[in-house]
Amino acid sequence: MENLLELYQTMGVSPAVYAYGEAALEKLRARFARIDQTAEYNQAKVLWAMQKNRVSAACFAATTGYGYDDLGRDTLERVYADVFHTQAALVRPQITCGTHALALALSANLLPGDELLSPVGAPYDTLQEVIGIRPSPCSLAEYGVSYRQVDLLPDGSFDYQSIRNSINQKTKLITIQRSKGYATRPTFSVSQIGQLIAFCKQIKPDVLVMVDNCYGEFVETMEPSDVGADMTVGSLIKNPGGGLAPIGGYIAGTAQCVERCAYRLSAPGLGQEVGANLGLMPALYQGFFLAPTVVAGAEKGAVFAANLYEPLGFRCVPSASEERFDIIQAVELGSGAAMEAFCKGIQAAAPVDSFAVPYPSDMPGYSDKVIMAAGAFVQGSSIELSADGPIRPPYAVYFQGGLTWNHAKLGILLSLQKLVDAGLVTL
């Protein structure tokens, strides 16, 4: 493939970095084949749900105003409910991001005097202000919802005894964050989440469980809703949007929980009856249809990244050989300078804004400066090739996305090239 090597050289990848990548890739063929098998199953699952619900060209018609009797919107929500095996789903462009979807699910199903429990340690940075761990106007704490958390054990497993001791009469809702967020702890498998849900419901059968499913959709053949979650929540500019959804979020779960979420999103008495699709239906349908394949490409990129960086002495979470349960690859680089070099490589690989140079800066919802690299067709879409992280020890960068495996591969090669060029890595 001399022509490919020449083209990569033109784009900034040296022969040495390319050869290092090809050597790592040669060992991953069988693993990539298993990822493709999962994608094939999930593709069939999505296709069957679309066929069952008689998706037609009429579903793509735009609506405005109130959006009463919106065929496309209502059918899409039935498709999501069937894919996630839930009673109902709320899938709306009016949900702006993953944090919004989570805040919506929590505020709709918690009342003053209730207690929220996280049995997996501190939640993702932006959710801390939603809860009120870091004070913020309109937080759950302001409305009289208390919060309790149980940290993970040193090995990253659940502290079942402390969880048992923490569940009490006030415990109304348990929140489980599937992916690692800006932490170098393991991502939980659907099986692990199911075990935790069963344990909690054995102690308090009426407790509600919400799973933050961001970055985890379609990585396995099951979702948290298959193992007892009352609400499974995520963002359409991550996995299920397939790179085409320009905005949106989803909540799939029990009819009662989803109905309350709909009332909170619109207004009591209106619920899911309102909310025009604004012409976004083709992107939301097609993105969901493509999502299993797109997620598979992103997962391959994450596996490739771990297999490039771990042999160079960098701690990777998950490790190069571990089974994966989300699309995020954390790499502990040891310094802010190394984080900047890595992110410059990802930015240089972008189809959009490749000429931009990322630098750490203040970001809403974060207490540390954050560096973010992305050149996305949809702004902020982390199913597209991107990398980011807070500038704080252990100086871990979080790589994710890639609409195609080939693009993810180029991004990782360029990230390594920038570290080599800066004298921070020797091959």
Q: What is the pLDDT of residue 125?
A: 85
By percentage, how much of the chain surpasses pLDDT 90? 95
Kindly state the average pLDDT of the residues 403-414.
Answer: 97
Q: How many CB atoms lie within 10 A of CB 88?
A: 21
Contact status, residue 184 vs residue 328, Cβ threshold 8 Å: no
What's the pLDDT score for residue 366? 77
CA angle 392–393–395, rounded 5-degree value: 80
Q: What percent of the chain has pLDDT over 70?
A: 100
| Domains of the chain, start order | 2-42+289-421 (3.90.1150.60), 63-278 (3.40.640.10)
Res. 1 pLDDT band, cuts 50 70 90: low
Res. 382 pLDDT band, cuts 50 70 90: very high
Query: pLDDT digits over 214-252, tens only?
Result: 999 999 999 999 999 999 999 999 999 999 999 999 999
Q: What is the pLDDT of residues 168-223, one digit of tens each?
A: 999 999 999 999 888 888 999 999 999 999 999 999 999 999 999 999 999 999 99
Tokens of 27: 């060992």
Q: What is the mean pLDDT of residues 314-332?
A: 96
User: How far lies 399's CA from each of 372, 402, 408, in Å?
Assistant: 10, 10, 10
| pLDDT at residue 176 in the model | 98
Cα distance between residue 303 and residue 322, in whole Å: 9
365 has pLDDT over 80: no
Q: What is the pLDDT of residue 364?
A: 78
H-helix segments, 310-335 = none
